[in-house]
Structure 1
Amino acid sequence: MTQTAHTGFILTRHWRDTPSGTEIDFWLATDAGPRKVRLTAQTSVAFAEASLRTAIEAQITPDAGIELRELQLKTFQQQPVIGVYASRYKQLTALERSLRDHGIKLFEADIRPPERYLMERFITATVQTEGGHASGPVIHNCKLKPAPEYRPTLKMVSLDIETSAFGDLYSIALEGCGQRQVYMLGATPDQAPVVDFNLEYCAAPRQLIERLNTWLARHDPDVIIGWNVVQFDLRVLQKNADKFKVPLALGREGKNIEWREHPGKQDYWFAPVPGRIILDGIDALKAASWLFPSYSLENVAQAMLGEGKEIGDDYDKMAEIERRFQEDKPALATYNLKDCELVTRIFHKANLLAFMIERATVTGLQADHLGGSIAAFSHHYLPRMHREGYVAPNVGDISGSASPGGFVFDSKPGLYDSVVVLDYKSLYPSIIRTFLVDPVGLIEGEAAEDKSVLVEGVNGTMFSREKHCLPAITTEIWKQRDAAKRAKNEPLSTALKLLMNSFCGVLGASECRFFNPRLVSSVTLRGHQMLKQTRELVEARGYDVIYGDTDSIFIWLKKEHPNDEALAIGAELAEYINNWWRTMLKEKHGLDCHLEIEFDSHYQKFFMPTIRGTDMGSKKRYAGLIINGKGEEEVIYRGLEVARSDWTPLAQQFQQGLFKRIFKDEPYQDFVRDYAQKTMSGAYDSLLVYRKRLRQPLEEYKVNVPPQVRAARLADEYNQSQHRPLRYQNGGWISYVMTTGGPEPLEVVRSHIDYEHYLTKQLQPIADSILLPMNDSFTSLTTAQASLF
């Protein structure tokens, strides 16, 4: 029978080759519940130069199910192409490998069937079904079309497990779908304490996993969330499932996880499951541009929610988990569930699920595909490029060296009153729109006979005024973002901004099929020209430009101005610069201007330090005092130690205190002396901890061993002596202090603190970067205190 139309959100996408052809499955979240769309007999396509048709036919057996067709398309080298159609996708990829061995290229053979189906129909994540026939929740061979306005209401569950120090499964907690559930290994007690959640005991580890499978089938969430949920929780669950020979059926229809190891990252795994999205809280926060010095659940929960886990450091945690498992299982269940609830609250606080939905709707990527700038670019660009008559090159077809990045002015170090910052709005996307920078546009420009009608780029590039794709894509996304901002849809606005701002970087990535240094230079070098021109315009108005970076310019107003007056000057300068660009581009180049500089901020006090050991101004490092949106004074730090996680709290608090006094024109000398004295006396010992990341396994550090590695080796030697699991062999984060015996981990500090190290390596560099431009220094302020040395 004919299926009723459904509007839905694509949760997952899968494909398989069958004897009758390729099948594609899309699981949808709809208002009527989950639905699976199955499309059968899907043909896969790649492209080849038409001149190679005979050579290709020689490699195809008559019964292979592969067909060659003439098409009105061509390569970037202006060669006509044919379509190579296969009834099964693996046939196409096998043919691509065979032809490659004979020196014949197939283009776009790496586009998988689900992505090809969606992109060619301009579908991202929300769809409407048409026709087809139903069999239970499965809709067969319907048509899909975009449904851009639809947003789903997804059912979400937070999952967390507790284990022994050696990965033995103790409990599984679930919070979501209206349930708060913990499954605990052990016998049901005769008198169970009263808890405010469902606590069920399981006699064997395999029963824990069986209960989890049953819970997911019964409550049927669309999304599973957790903290490091794939790399830890699901990996541990899978190992236990394999050990006890029970399936880990987390997918809809009882499907297993389809594990895939990251090709360039050892022991890093993806865990796609049919019908459900799995979202890791850490990766989701990073994708949404949330920054934390540490992404541990404890640190993020404290920062965002003002509370954290109830057990302290990792070793206390493992010991306490073991104690609770042996002596107080309800307390362990409560702790397990608390982690689930913290993750759920973080997702709500950061609006992460809404962001992931909007991101999928914007990019065309599956919601749990959290990288993928290149894939998102291809999803938007390929179908539009095909309609302009071109097929895409393969990765590696174009070679070249890296393109220049954003332009940074040499800074003028010192302490200033009244510095105004102007910022170009989405600089690189606006350059793409204004100067029509585009892969197809560049190819068309190179092939054009009449160069006078083209747009002149940078370093001899020429772009078509009529035939291009990326400017229109960028304009569409720009307008969508403006609409999202007007509607106060922050998740959508952020997703659109991130996508639009990724375009220039994608064109400069050698892993992208459209990689071309000439294209990237046409954007970045144009940005250089713009920043230099902007400086000339500002200085012609009598002000000084003391710094500039990529899309921002820092303007000293030459004297102190009240905040309102400085804001007015900044707004007037922005209007003047924008008018200049509009007039010049229209009159000289016949181009519509999409460049827009905006007032960004006014620093009542602004400090630009020198590069250590020189009198040259630093770059990307400054501090300034502003009046924030609440009308309060606030010090902004960029690139300085207070904003960097690899400096100690001792140094960060010292820098904050020193800047506060200098910006407020308060005496600072006694503060410096007292801080140094208290450091030496041990009053600040709690602030001396370094926390640094080990970016590779310990055994790979052979020469020039940094302090954090030395500390980590000491820590694991101690752990081994205490029969504890080793923590640092494969990297991670280490906390340590500097002692007279060198760096020592917090797990085992045996030597006295090296206070001299903290004075000369932490406090003095910070003080001198601020004080030397003021003809003062840390040494001159502290050497009189003989007791310090």
Structure 2
Amino acid sequence: MTESKGFILTRHWRDAPAGTEIEFWLATEAGPRKVVIAAQTSVAFVAARHRAAVAAQLAAFPRMQLRPLALRTFHQEPVIGVYATHFRQLGKLARVLQPLNIALLEADVRPHDRYLMERFITAGVHIEAGRTEGASIVDCRLKPASDYRPVLKLVSLDIETSQHQDLYSIALDGTAERVVFMLGEPPPEAGDAQDFALIYCATRKAMIEQLNAWFERNDPDVILGWNVIQFDLRVLQKTADDCGVKLLLGRDRQPIQWRTHPGKPDYLFAPTPGRLVIDGIDALKAAVWSFPSFSLENVSQTLLGEGKAIGDAYDKMAEIERRYQQDKPALAVYNIRDCELVLRIFEKAKLLQFVLERAQTTGLQADHFGGSIAAFSHHYLPRMHRQGYVAPNVGEIETKAFPGGYVMDSKPGFYDSVLVLDYKGLYPSIIRTFLVDPVGLAEGMHLADAGTGVSGPQQTLFSRDKHCLPEIVTTLSKARDEAKRVKNEPLSQALKLLMNSFAGVLGATECRFFNPKLVSAVTLRGHEMMKLTRTFVEGKGYEAIYGDTDSIFIWLKRAHTNDEAHAVAAELVRDINAWWTRTLREEQGLENFLEIEFDTHYKKFFMPTIRGSDIGSKKRYAGLSLDASGKEEMVYRGLEMARSDWTPLARQFQEGLLTRIFHDEPHREFVTAYARATLAGEKDDLLIYRKRLRHRLDAYEVNVPPQVRAARIADLHNAAVGRPHQYQNGGWIEYVMTRSGPEPLEARQSGIDYEHYLFKQLQPIADAILFPFGESFTALTTSQQDLF
């Protein structure tokens, strides 16, 4: 066949009679293609000193071979290769050798992952040679094609069910064949024409068969949805099983290959041959979007300014039931509306582009979220092998604590003119500059002359010329600079997230490269850098009032105009960067990749104390920022205003009080008027707590927090009125504090406890802000005789 390009959608391996077989589904310009690469040999490694012991076990493993290799472990032990025709043989051999205390190294690297990583392929591929068998390409060669991005065919899927998850309808949108499959008979009179087909099915079995046929006909590359795996596909699978019919949503009419999460048996993965399954919630979180609630209604209202709500959780279920029983066309409209919103959210947030760029950046399958350790391994293992090393197994190094990011003691109070400078990609730049690397450490700790290496914290020593991670970070950093230059925001974000994950991966005990000395060589170097930066800044006559990991907050000692403050920032940035370049070159012979940048000028800034003390808090502050054009913005970090576990009453109060103080406006009357209005019931719509139940309700036995008490009341009420329980397995609960304690909104019976809100919500916020002025909430409110 002629050479072409493709983008890997899904990957799979199986042990066939002739050996391990790898299957990739690709999106190409000519449509979907299945690539099958047969008879792949799998490899693992073992210390050469164990050769005789391993050879003695091979009689039970036909066609497995040992071969000498020019590779060694991080302990400088030579290794031999263990080659198997079937991948599962390596896992069996590893279990046999375990009682003998013989480690089989890299035996857990799956065949399709090793095939890709050793060829430096992430997602885009050149397809060379091979033969065509129908829509399949057999035994071709794949090479990296980092510039290829496919045009994918999408379908947004959503279902509607009864409150007991009995399937009522299935909506599909995103292709030319927009459709809703509805259980039941069509109404006697046809309703208004819709811009989608409404197909009635006599049975749920017929609905599943219609769905299977639709997928075979339309053949989408990507299934989008909202909680689509844990709810929609799960319900569809259960419905199919109950009806004795197969759910065949994969290409070639293949079923979903369900898997459970190792640590969360109730959490499922849904690998679907030939198709990506992308959940909108997972995609948003992977792209570091943040919302108080990731419900489709909240996200669509926030991003699109519209939604589809038909009431709260109970009203919604009642309305769905009513529409199903009395107005099925209306239910169909509601059903497909969800599909439309999901498609528009993906478009607005550029989520599909982000997912594809993330796959091309990490080497992970596009619908595999999380996976920082897997992404690190995908980049690191092939480069490590070419440096002559094999990877250790997980758990080889004893777990020990290591220091995190540096957080400077803060100096609380109100300030004029505070600058924030931060180091661009601090941890990746430390890795590049100081050559922090697993292979580099293995080489450095065995150098004959320690003076030829790069000394690090905790007596670590790194090789100057043999390493992998600094080159990986350099490549990714240059790619990010180019992505920013061409304004490819999804790619820039994917590259940033990957680079920033590397230090955390080295400190993750689940990672084969976990090493407290390695991660400490990054974090402790960060501590040193921040302390030196503070000394430099204060040597210029300014004062560092706070610092956190990669950021330093600098008080200019007096009020500056915006232009003056920006000029000072530019001078500091220039001088600090020049100092690092000169110092590193002269003292250690290192090239400097550390770069501090100007982040923010706060015209007014507030750093609170720890509640109940005069010690400055950490990771909590507020400020009135000014950009270069003089545009103002209120910024809150870690304060009640920025936290969803405080009531809207508290957040609105904090915002109002700080805004007045930052703008030198009267604030005392605001405090008393706000308290008075609260007591008068004028702010009752702001009193709602919304908190997450992180465990099952029956897991709370000794310490029972208010949200759990409210949830238990709610579910007792649900049972009494014949509704299903809502909170037994966790979720979000909304409640208010009453004179009888916490009560859920859906079952509130008692009057509001206004004093709770005054003294538990408003007073702590007010006192933290008013303390520097010698004022307090109690003093201001009790001076108003009519307040209580």
TM-score bin (small chain): over 0.9
> 1:216-241 CA distances to partner (integer Å, 9 max, x unpaired)?
11111100010000000011111100
Q: Which residue of 2 aligns with 1:296?
A: 295
Change over 3 Å in CA distance of 1:429–1:321 after alignment to 2: same
For 1:111 and 1:356, locate their aligned partners in 2 and report how far apart those are by CA, in whole Å: 23
What letter is aligned with 2:74? Answer: F
Q: Which residue of 1 aligns with 2:208?
A: 209
For 1:104 and 1:787, locate their aligned partners in 2 and report how far apart those are by CA, in whole Å: 80
Q: Which residue of 1 aligns with 2:101?
A: 103
For 1:361 and 1:422, locate their aligned partners in 2 and report how far apart those are by CA, in whole Å: 32
Alignment partner for residue 130 of structure 2, among 129, 132, 136? Answer: 132
What's the CA shift for 1:634?
A: 1.0
Summarize the alignment of residues 151-190 of structure 1 with structure 2, pairs less than 5 Å apart: 151-190=149-188
Q: Which residue of 2 aligns with 1:92?
A: 90
Q: Which residue of 1 aligns with 2:675?
A: 676
For 1:25 and 1:169, locate their aligned partners in 2 and report how far apart those are by CA, in whole Å: 34
Q: Which residue of 2 aligns with 1:517?
A: 516
Any conservation in 2 of the 1:47–1:83 contact (CA below 8 Å)? yes
Q: Which residue of 2 aligns with 1:256?
A: 255
For 1:28 and 1:629, locate their aligned partners in 2 and report how far apart those are by CA, in whole Å: 47
Equivalent position SS for 1:599: strand
Summarize the alignment of residues 211-226 of structure 1 with structure 2, pairs less than 5 Å apart: 211-226=210-225
Q: Which residue of 2 aligns with 1:644?
A: 643
Any conservation in 1 of the 2:413–2:772 contact (CA below 8 Å)? yes
Q: Which residue of 1 aligns with 2:623?
A: 624
Any conservation in 1 of the 2:563–2:628 contact (CA below 8 Å)? no
> 1:127-150 CA distances to partner (integer Å, 9 max, x unpaired)?
011101001110000000000111
What's the CA shift for 1:276?
A: 0.1
> 1:639-691 CA distances to partner (integer Å, 9 max, x unpaired)?
00111010000000001100110000000011100100000000000000000
Q: Which residue of 1 aligns with 2:197?
A: 198
Any conservation in 1 of the 2:152–2:222 contact (CA below 8 Å)? yes
Change over 3 Å in CA distance of 1:62–1:239 after alignment to 2: closer
For 2:306 and 2:215, locate their aligned partners in 1 and report how far apart those are by CA, in whole Å: 29
What letter is aligned with 2:651? Answer: Q
What letter is aligned with 2:163? Answer: A
| 5+ long unaligned stretches in structure 1 | none
Q: Which residue of 2 aligns with 1:579?
A: 578
What letter is aligned with 1:449? Answer: A
What's the CA shift for 1:63?
A: 6.3
Change over 3 Å in CA distance of 1:384–1:609 after alignment to 2: same
For 2:264 and 2:416, locate their aligned partners in 1 and report how far apart those are by CA, in whole Å: 49
For 2:60 and 2:756, locate their aligned partners in 1 and report how far apart those are by CA, in whole Å: 77
1:41 matched to 2:43: no
What's the CA shift for 1:196?
A: 2.2
Q: Which residue of 2 aligns with 1:712?
A: 711
1:73 matched to 2:74: no
Q: Which residue of 2 aligns with 1:486?
A: 485
Any conservation in 2 of the 1:402–1:508 contact (CA below 8 Å)? no
| Count of paired positions | 787
Equivalent position SS for 1:322: helix
For 1:357 and 1:546, locate their aligned partners in 2 and report how far apart those are by CA, in whole Å: 42
What's the CA shift for 1:6?
A: 2.0
Alignment partner for residue 147 of structure 1, among 132, 145, 148? Answer: 145
Equivalent position SS for 1:109: coil
Any conservation in 2 of the 1:131–1:142 contact (CA below 8 Å)? yes
Q: Which residue of 2 aligns with 1:785?
A: 784
> 1:512-531 CA distances to partner (integer Å, 9 max, x unpaired)?
00000000111000000000
Summarize the alignment of residues 553-702 of structure 1 with structure 2, pairs less than 5 Å apart: 553-628=552-627, 631-702=630-701
What's the CA shift for 1:103?
A: 1.6
Any conservation in 1 of the 2:601–2:627 contact (CA below 8 Å)? no
For 2:99 and 2:458, locate their aligned partners in 1 and report how far apart those are by CA, in whole Å: 37
Q: Which residue of 1 aligns with 2:475?
A: 476
For 1:230 and 1:785, locate their aligned partners in 2 and report how far apart those are by CA, in whole Å: 57
Q: Which residue of 1 aligns with 2:533?
A: 534
For 1:298 and 1:333, locate their aligned partners in 2 and report how far apart those are by CA, in whole Å: 18
> 1:91-118 CA distances to partner (integer Å, 9 max, x unpaired)?
1111111111222110000000000100
What letter is aligned with 2:644? Answer: S
Q: Which residue of 2 aligns with 1:18?
A: 16
Q: Which residue of 1 aligns with 2:341?
A: 342
For 1:97 and 1:373, locate their aligned partners in 2 and report how far apart those are by CA, in whole Å: 27
What letter is aligned with 2:517? Answer: R
What letter is aligned with 2:470? Answer: P
1:247 matched to 2:225: no
For 1:687 and 1:628, locate their aligned partners in 2 and report how far apart those are by CA, in whole Å: 32
Equivalent position SS for 2:530: helix
Q: Which residue of 1 aligns with 2:393?
A: 394
Q: Which residue of 1 aligns with 2:453?
A: 454
What letter is aligned with 1:346? Answer: I
What's the CA shift for 1:628?
A: 4.2
> 1:373-427 CA distances to partner (integer Å, 9 max, x unpaired)?
0000000000000000000000000113121111111111111100001000000
RMSD value over aligned CA atoms? 0.9
What's the CA shift for 1:56?
A: 0.5
Any conservation in 2 of the 1:691–1:733 contact (CA below 8 Å)? yes
For 1:362 and 1:178, locate their aligned partners in 2 and report how far apart those are by CA, in whole Å: 32
Alignment partner for residue 4 of structure 1, among 2, 24, 28? Answer: 2
For 1:354 and 1:693, locate their aligned partners in 2 and report how far apart those are by CA, in whole Å: 31
Equivalent position SS for 2:364: coil
Any conservation in 1 of the 2:600–2:627 contact (CA below 8 Å)? no
What letter is aligned with 1:474? Answer: V
Any conservation in 1 of the 2:420–2:600 contact (CA below 8 Å)? yes
Any conservation in 2 of the 1:393–1:514 contact (CA below 8 Å)? yes
Any conservation in 1 of the 2:604–2:625 contact (CA below 8 Å)? yes
What letter is aligned with 1:408? Answer: V
| 5+ long unaligned stretches in structure 2 | none
What's the CA shift for 1:51?
A: 1.1
For 2:717 and 2:98, locate their aligned partners in 1 and report how far apart those are by CA, in whole Å: 54
What's the CA shift for 1:630?
A: 6.9
Equivalent position SS for 2:432: helix
What letter is aligned with 2:357? Answer: E
What's the CA shift for 1:62?
A: 6.9
What letter is aligned with 1:5? Answer: E
Q: Which residue of 1 aligns with 2:280?
A: 281
For 1:329 and 1:647, locate their aligned partners in 2 and report how far apart those are by CA, in whole Å: 41
Equivalent position SS for 1:421: strand
What's the CA shift for 1:10?
A: 0.2
For 1:592 and 1:731, locate their aligned partners in 2 and report how far apart those are by CA, in whole Å: 52
What letter is aligned with 2:369? Answer: L
What letter is aligned with 2:166? Answer: D
> 1:456-510 CA distances to partner (integer Å, 9 max, x unpaired)?
1011100000100000000000000000000100000000000000000000000
Equivalent position SS for 1:561: coil
Q: TM-score, normalised by structure 2?
A: 0.99
For 2:629 and 2:336, locate their aligned partners in 1 and report how far apart those are by CA, in whole Å: 38
For 1:780 and 1:616, locate their aligned partners in 2 and report how far apart those are by CA, in whole Å: 22
What's the CA shift for 1:308?
A: 1.1
What's the CA shift for 1:192?
A: 1.3
What's the CA shift for 1:703?
A: 0.7
Equivalent position SS for 1:615: coil
Equivalent position SS for 1:234: helix
For 1:518 and 1:43, locate their aligned partners in 2 and report how far apart those are by CA, in whole Å: 35
> 1:279-329 CA distances to partner (integer Å, 9 max, x unpaired)?
000010000000001101111111111111131111000000000000000
Equivalent position SS for 2:498: helix
Q: Which residue of 2 aligns with 1:382?
A: 381
For 1:300 and 1:284, locate their aligned partners in 2 and report how far apart those are by CA, in whole Å: 13
What letter is aligned with 1:69? Answer: R
For 2:54 and 2:30, locate their aligned partners in 1 and report how far apart those are by CA, in whole Å: 48
* Fraction of identical pairs, as percent: 67
Change over 3 Å in CA distance of 1:537–1:630 after alignment to 2: closer
For 1:255 and 1:629, locate their aligned partners in 2 and report how far apart those are by CA, in whole Å: 57
Equivalent position SS for 1:196: coil
Any conservation in 2 of the 1:438–1:463 contact (CA below 8 Å)? yes
For 2:17 and 2:785, locate their aligned partners in 1 and report how far apart those are by CA, in whole Å: 87
